[in-house]
Structure 1
Amino acid sequence: MKGADIRGLFRRNRRLSVKDTAVFCRQLAVLLEAGVPLLSALESLALQTGNRSLRRSLAGIIGELERGVSFAESLRSSGLFPEIAVTMVEVGELGGVLETVLGHLAAYFEREYATREKLRSALTYPAVVVLIALVTFSILITFVLPSLTSVVEELGGTVPPLTAWALKSGYFVQAHWPALVLSVLLAALVSVRLVGTRKARELLDPLFIKLPVLGGIIRQTAVGRFCRTLSTLVTTGVPILAGLEVAGRCSGNSVIRSAANRAVFRVRDGESLAVVLTDSAVFPRVVVQMIAVGERSGALAYCLGKAADLYEYDTQCTVERMVTLLEPVMIVGLGGLIGLIIMSVLMPMFEVLGSIG
C-alpha cells in the first residue's frame, strides 16, 4: 500500500451527515420559496449552523457564487455534499426550479435518515447485550476470580485447569489492557477504512451479498436505496441514463453499481430498463416487474418510489425478525459465559470443602 493510501486510512471523512444534509436542504428550500435570494439564504444558514465544516464550506460556496460559478459546481468543489445533491441542484438550476428540487432532496435525505435510525434502533439491543457480556466477563476474570482463588490456595486447595486458564486470562488482561484496547481500536479503524475503499468493496460486496440472512439484508438495503435515488432523480427531471449512473453509485453496493453501469449502455441502445435489470440477475423480480409497469405507463418515478417503499419496509422487518431470533441465543450465550466463570470459582471451593470433610 502506498504512503498516500496509508494516510488516507486515517483521514477524516468530510462528507456531511445525512441528517445535516436533510436539514440544510429543507431550510434552504424554505428560504428560497419565501423569496429570499440564494446568496442571502446561504449567508443566513452559514451564520446559524453549528456545524463548522458546513460553515466553512458555505463561506467558500458563497465566494464562488459571487465569482459567477454555478451553485451546483460550487457544491461539487466543496466536497461536502453527496453526488445526488449536486446532480439534482444542477437540474434545478437549469430548469429554474431550484427550490422545488431542494424540497425533493430534503424529503429524500429525511427518508434516508429515518430508515437508518430504524435499523440502528433495532441493532442497539444486541450490541448492548454483547457489550455487557464482555464487560462482565472481563470484571470477573480480572478482579473477582483472583481474589477467590487466593482464598482457596490459602485453605490448601488446588486450582483446577479451568480456573487456572481463567486466571491466566485475567492476568494477561491486567498486564496488557492498554495494548489490547489500542489494538482493537486500531484494527476497527483500519477495517472500516479499508472496507470503505472501492477496490475492497468490489472484492467483498459479491461475497457479502451471498451470505445467509445478512446477505439478504445487504441486498434489500442496496436495492431500496437504488430505487429511491433513481425515483428522486427522475422526478426532478434528470435523464434516465445519468440517473442510472448516480443511483448505482449511491446504492452503496458495488454489485448494484456494476449492474447499473452495464444498464446504461444497453438502455442507450434502446433496450428496456426492466429487461436489462432482469438479465443482471441482481434485482429481485418484484422490482423488475414494477419498473416494467412504470415504463409502460409512463410513471417510472412513481413505481420506483413504491419499490423503494417496499424494500425499505422489508429491510426493517427482516432486521427486527433477526434481532428477535438473536435475543434468546444471546441470552443463552451470556448465561453460558457467566456459568463458565461461576464453575471456575466453585470447583476449587468444592475441592477445599471436600478436603476439609
Structure 2
Amino acid sequence: MGRKAKGFEMDLSLLCHQFALILKSGIHPVEGIPMLCEDTVNPKLKKALETIARDVEHGSSLYSAFEAANCFPAYMTAMIRVGEKTGMLEPVLEGLSKYYENQANTRKKIRSAVTYPLVLALFMLGVIALIAFRVVPLFVEILTSLGGQVPVQVDLFILLGNTLKNGFLYVLAALLLLAAGILALSRQEKLRFLLDKLKVVNPITGGIYRKIIASRFSGAMALTLKSGMTVTEGVGLVSGVLENAYVVAKTGEAAKAVSEGKPFWEAVRDTGLFPALFIRLMKSGEKTGSLDAVMDKASRTWQEEADSSLRRIIGFIEPVCVTALSLILAGVLLSVILPLINIMASIG
C-alpha cells in the first residue's frame, strides 16, 4: 500500500471492489485471492495478499488471515469478520470499497482546505520573526539613542522573542517528549478508555463521531439480523467494528440488558450514545418486525449525516484560519510597531 494515507485508502477501496467482483462471479476466496495478487503492483500489499492466500489455503478463516497480515485497518478486518460470519461478504466488501473511497475524498478536501491557511501561517510566522528579530530591535535602538522610553508591551515582545530564539531546541525537545509521553500513556487501557470516551462526549467533534458510530453499528447489525442471528449475538459480533473501548463497553451493557429481557431499542437508548431519531427508528423497526431493514436504512442515513456535518466543518476551516492569522498579525502590529512609531514621531 502507498505510504500516504490517501494512496492507502484508495488501495483499500480498489482491493475491496475487486474482491467483491471475484466473489460475485462465483470464485472461491482460495482461488480469488491469488488473482488479486496478480493485479497488485504495490510490493507491501502484494506480500500481504500472498500471505493471506497461503493462510486461507491452509484452512484459516478469511478474517484471521487478514488480521494476521497486520496490514489492514481494524475496521476493515472487523467488517470482513461480520461478512464471513453472516454469509454476506460480497455486500460487506462493496460497502468497504465505498467507505474507503469516501475517506480518501474527504481527506483530499481537508488537505485542500488547510493548505492555503498553512502557507499563510508560515508566511506570517516569517513576518513576525522578521519584526521580532530585526525591525523591533532596530526601532528600540533608535528610540533609546533619542532618549525615549520603550513601552512595556514592546519589552515583553522582545523578551518572548529572545526566549524562543535562544531556547528553541529546548522547547522542541520538550514538545517531542510530551508527545512521546502522551503516545505511551494512550496505550494504557484506562487512559485509552478515557480518551475514547472523550471522542464521544466532547462538544466539538463528538456529534460527528456519534453519527459515524451510529452508521457503523446499524450497518453491521443489519447484516447480522438478515443472516438470522439474534440481537445479542449480533451485538457481540459487531463490537469490533466500533473501534472504541468506551462504545464497546456501552454496547456490551446493551447486549446484557437485551439478554435479560429489555427491548433492544430501550437498551440502546440507555447507552446515551446514539441520536434520538436513531432510537425512534429502532423502536419502530423492532415493533413492526422490520428491524433489519430499518437498521440498513439508518446506516446510510447517518453516514450521509456525518458526511454532511464534516463538509460543513471543512467549509469553515479556511475562512476561520485566515481570519485568526490576520488578527494575530494585526495584533502584533498594533501592540508593538505602532506605539514605537508614535513615540519616535513625538520625539522627532
* 1:24-75 deviations in Å (ceiling 9; x for gaps): 2221222233354533432232243244443332222222233333434323
Q: Out of 135, 139, 152, which is 2:126 matched to?
A: 139
1:352 corresponds to 2:344: yes
* 1:316-354 deviations in Å (ceiling 9; x for gaps): 333444555676654443232111222312322332232
Corresponding residue for residue 24 of structure 2: 33
Q: Out of 203, 215, 219, which is 1:228 matched to?
A: 219
Q: CA RMSD in A?
A: 3.5
Q: Distance in 1 between matches of 2:346 and 2:124?
A: 28
After alignment, is 266-275 or 333-342 more displaced? 266-275
3-state SS of 2:97 partner? helix
1:109 corresponds to 2:96: yes
Q: CA 1:18–1:321 in structure 2 vs 1: closer, same or farther (change >3 Å)?
A: closer
After TM superposition, give the deviation of residue 124 of structure 1 in Å. Answer: 4.7
* 1:188-218 deviations in Å (ceiling 9; x for gaps): 4654564466432422344453333433233
Q: Distance in 2 between matches of 1:190 and 1:205?
A: 17
Letter in 2 for 1:259: K
1:264 corresponds to 2:250: no
Q: Out of 309, 313, 328, which is 1:337 matched to?
A: 328
Given that 1:221 and 1:311 are in contact with CA atoms closer than 8 Å, whether structure 2 keeps it comes out as: yes
* 1:240-280 deviations in Å (ceiling 9; x for gaps): 33321243332233443222112222333454311222333
Q: CA 1:346–1:125 in structure 2 vs 1: closer, same or farther (change >3 Å)?
A: farther
Given that 1:141 and 1:170 are in contact with CA atoms closer than 8 Å, whether structure 2 keeps it comes out as: no
Q: Out of 44, 66, 72, which is 1:75 matched to?
A: 66
Corresponding residue for residue 308 of structure 2: 317
Q: CA 1:225–1:187 in structure 2 vs 1: closer, same or farther (change >3 Å)?
A: farther
* 1:155-191 deviations in Å (ceiling 9; x for gaps): 3355433233333333333334445445445544654
Q: Out of 67, 81, 84, which is 2:79 matched to?
A: 84
Given that 1:104 and 1:232 are in contact with CA atoms closer than 8 Å, whether structure 2 keeps it comes out as: no
Given that 2:12 and 2:100 are in contact with CA atoms closer than 8 Å, whether structure 1 keeps it comes out as: no
Given that 2:236 and 2:255 are in contact with CA atoms closer than 8 Å, whether structure 1 keeps it comes out as: yes
Given that 1:267 and 1:273 are in contact with CA atoms closer than 8 Å, whether structure 2 keeps it comes out as: yes
Given that 1:19 and 1:109 are in contact with CA atoms closer than 8 Å, whether structure 2 keeps it comes out as: no
Taking every aligned residue pair, what percent have the same amino acid on both sides?
Answer: 19
Q: Distance in 1 between matches of 2:112 and 2:151?
A: 36
Q: Distance in 1 between matches of 2:101 and 2:13?
A: 11
TM-score (norm 2): 0.78
Q: Out of 138, 141, 151, which is 2:138 matched to?
A: 151
Q: Distance in 2 between matches of 1:109 and 1:283?
A: 22
Q: How does 1:90-239 map to 2 (within 5 A)?
A: 90-92=85-87, 101-117=88-104, 120=107, 123-124=110-111, 127-128=114-115, 131-132=118-119, 134-155=121-142, 156=145, 159-181=150-172, 183-184=174-175, 187-188=178-179, 191=182, 194-195=185-186, 198-235=189-226, 239=230
Paired residues in the alignment total 334
Given that 1:248 and 1:260 are in contact with CA atoms closer than 8 Å, whether structure 2 keeps it comes out as: yes
3-state SS of 1:264 partner? helix
After alignment, is 20-29 or 192-201 more displaced? 192-201
Letter in 1 for 2:270: D
Given that 1:152 and 1:348 are in contact with CA atoms closer than 8 Å, whether structure 2 keeps it comes out as: yes
* 1:264-320 deviations in Å (ceiling 9; x for gaps): 223334543112223333333321221233234443232112222332233333344
Q: Distance in 1 between matches of 2:278 and 2:206?
A: 18
Given that 1:222 and 1:252 are in contact with CA atoms closer than 8 Å, whether structure 2 keeps it comes out as: no
Q: CA 1:60–1:117 in structure 2 vs 1: closer, same or farther (change >3 Å)?
A: closer
Q: Distance in 2 between matches of 1:312 and 1:238?
A: 24
**Structure 1: any 5+ residue segments left out of the alignment?**
1-11, 93-100
